[in-house]
Amino acid sequence: MSWSASKRDALKREEPLPHRASHARSCALRVAEKWGVKREVVLDCVHRMCGVDLHDSPTSDGIETAVELLDKLRFEWPTMSSHNEAT
């Protein structure tokens, strides 16, 4: 599934939250593939930067926040200093 399809499905408010979270994790996988890191590294970065844990039953707003951050991370991976400042 493409980034666009995963993002679209993650943002569908009519879908069950577990399905939306799964699509958001697929977005994290796309970011990980782009930057050559493991998906868990990206998910940890999202959790540290915006407080959303996509493994732990996120809210609808949380999923939207995480996807917004993932969209930014597609284009700019944080340096260690900016990553640490966000925690």
Q: First-to-last CA distance in the chain? A: 31
Tokens of 45: 């970065």
**Residue 30 pLDDT > 90, yes or no?**
yes
The reported pLDDT for the residue numbered 80 is 54
pLDDT category of residue 22 using cuts at 50, 70 and 90: very high
What are the pLDDT digits (tens) for 34-68? 999 999 999 999 999 999 999 998 999 999 999 99
* Closest residue by Cα to residue 26 from 44, 57, 12, 5: 5
* Entry pTM: 0.87
